[in-house]
């Protein structure tokens, strides 16, 4: 039996993938630029090297039967070479290459016929001003690469904001996207096996602050027609992507009940963390099943309601967790601390999931739990 998994990236996603992999009998090796990374604390071996470090990825391949990723901002050229040499790499480097460039991701979604907010490529301020005539204010100026948790977005409300944004972005490649007012942000985790089986998880509602996911509510408080539309768009998208694994797809719901795809993540995702306690098969176990050729598990929720709230850093300094005993005294509450050595404002340090029978009560308990913990 081939039982060696290599993960490019040793952050919290790598850690939460490694734990079910270990319980299923796999050995796990990760690469990460920081020794003692969250995943590095629980795996069999940690290779120190950057996400785009070809040498580290090659070293990982030597001790792996399967390779996967926990981050899309990586060296896809090396992964593509490994595929040609016979190494199973999932999701496909071709898919990662398409998705890690936010502009080519939009082009892909348009090509496969799923709805997205209007967008246009820009190279300079003149192009941006031309886009303004088309979209009006406000609009979004976005970086094509290395953009996550809002770090690559600028909301342009007036002409003066353009120069500030261009100064912030420097020489990064950009595009403009029309601002779409929405009433809810929705997300769905969806898995595909090596033989092409596609399995969607329940549709969830997400709440962001400063472009960072703060809360996931499962299932989403939308009617079945909207939920079905989200699932159908997700399945349609997955039918055109390459490779196995779990993907996270984020969407907007407008006041006219229109659903637009915002972004795809070619990996397990923050909006699916609730699945560990709330679903028959967590997104992390599902990903391991998918990339190793095992049958996909049941994605159904085991409880009527679940709410996940991120624990974000609020200061600079070493980690000092306080209040865990109070959180765990709340019925249905679970806490995950990622194992990062230092905390800083808005850094993802952990999360809390509360499960139960009533969505309102579960939500209130999750909010209460988050107030009780500091890190």
DSSP for 156-197? E-SHHHHHHHHHHHTT--EEEEE----SEEEEEEEEE-TT--
| pTM of this structure | 0.95
Q: What is the pLDDT of residue 146?
A: 78
Task: Find the Cα–Cα–Cα–Cα dihedral 271, 275, 281, 282, rounded to 10°.
Answer: 60
Pairwise CA distance, residues 67 & 28, whole Å = 10
Instruction: Return averaged pLDDT per consecutive 10 residues of the chain, 375 residues in all.
Output: 94 98 98 97 97 96 98 93 97 94 95 96 92 93 78 88 90 93 96 96 96 96 97 96 96 96 96 98 98 98 98 95 97 98 96 98 98 96
Q: What is the pLDDT of residue 356?
A: 98
For the segment 69-96, what is each residue's pLDDT rounded down to a tens digit?
999 989 899 999 999 999 999 999 999 9
- Residues composing the chain: 375
**Phi then psi for 332, rounded to 5 degrees?**
80, 10
- 4-89 and 184-372, same CATH topology: no
Inter-residue contact 236 to 81 (CB < 8 Å): no
Q: What SS3 state is found at 253? A: strand
- Identify the sign of the CA torsion 204, 205, 210, 213: negative
For the domain 4-89, what is the CATH code? Answer: 3.40.50.20
Domain ranges of the chain: 4-89, 118-178, 184-372
Name the architecture of domain 184-372: 2-Layer Sandwich (3.30)
For the segment 119-141, what is each residue's pLDDT rounded down to a tens digit?
999 999 999 999 999 999 999 99
Inter-residue contact 190 to 235 (CB < 8 Å): yes
Which ranges in the chain belong to alpha helices (H)? 12-23, 54-62, 76-84, 93-100, 102-112, 125-135, 159-169, 224-238, 275-278, 283-291, 324-328, 359-372
What is the pairing mode between strands 45-48 and 27-32? parallel
Q: What is the pLDDT of residue 149?
A: 57
Pairwise CA distance, residues 201 & 296, whole Å = 12
Name the architecture of domain 118-178: 2-Layer Sandwich (3.30)
Tell whether omega for the bond before 132 is within 30 degrees of 0, i.e. cis. no
Q: What is the pLDDT of residue 329?
A: 98
């Amino acid at each position: 039996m081939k039982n060696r998994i290599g993960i490019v990236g040793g952050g919290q996603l790598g850690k939460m993938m490694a734990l079910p992999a270990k319980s299923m009998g796999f050995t796990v090796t990760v690469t990460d630029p920081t020794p003692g990374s969250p995943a590095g604390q629980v795996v069999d071996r940690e290779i120190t090297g950057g996400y785009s470090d070809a040498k580290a990825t090659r070293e990982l391949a030597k001790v792996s039967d399967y390779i996967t990723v926990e981050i899309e901002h990586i060296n896809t050229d090396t992964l593509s070479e490994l595929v040609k040499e016979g190494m199973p790499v999932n999701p496909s480097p071709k898919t990662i290459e398409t998705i890690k460039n936010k502009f080519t991701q939009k082009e892909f979604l348009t090509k496969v016929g799923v709805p997205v907010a209007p967008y246009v490529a820009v190279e300079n301020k003149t192009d941006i001003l031309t886009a303004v005539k088309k979209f009006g204010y406000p609009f979004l100026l976005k970086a094509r690469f290395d953009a996550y948790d809002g770090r690559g977005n600028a909301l342009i409300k007036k002409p003066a904001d353009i120069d500030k944004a261009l100064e912030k972005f420097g020489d990064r490649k950009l595009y403009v996207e029309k601002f779409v007012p929405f009433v809810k942000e929705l997300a769905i985790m969806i898995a595909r096996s090596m033989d092409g089986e596609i399995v969607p998880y329940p549709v969830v509602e997400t709440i962001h602050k400063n472009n960072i996911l703060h809360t996931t509510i499962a299932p989403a408080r939308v009617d079945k027609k909207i939920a079905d539309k989200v699932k159908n768009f997700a399945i349609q998208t997955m039918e055109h992507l390459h490779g196995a694994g779990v993907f996270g797809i984020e969407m907007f719901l407008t006041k006219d009940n229109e659903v637009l795809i915002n972004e795809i993540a070619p990996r397990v995702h923050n909006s699916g963390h609730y699945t560990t306690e709330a679903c028959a098969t967590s997104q992390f176990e599902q990903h391991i099943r998918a990339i190793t050729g095992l049958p996909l598990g049941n994605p159904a929720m085991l409880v009527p309601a679940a709410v996940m709230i991120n624990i974000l850093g609020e200061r600079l300094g070493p980690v000092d967790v306080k209040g865990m005993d109070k959180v765990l005294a709340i019925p249905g509450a679970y806490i995950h601390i990622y194992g990062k050595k230092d905390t800083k404002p808005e850094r993802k340090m952990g999360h809390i999931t509360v499960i139960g029978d009533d969505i309102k009560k579960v939500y209130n308990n999750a909010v209460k739990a988050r107030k009780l913990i500091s890190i």
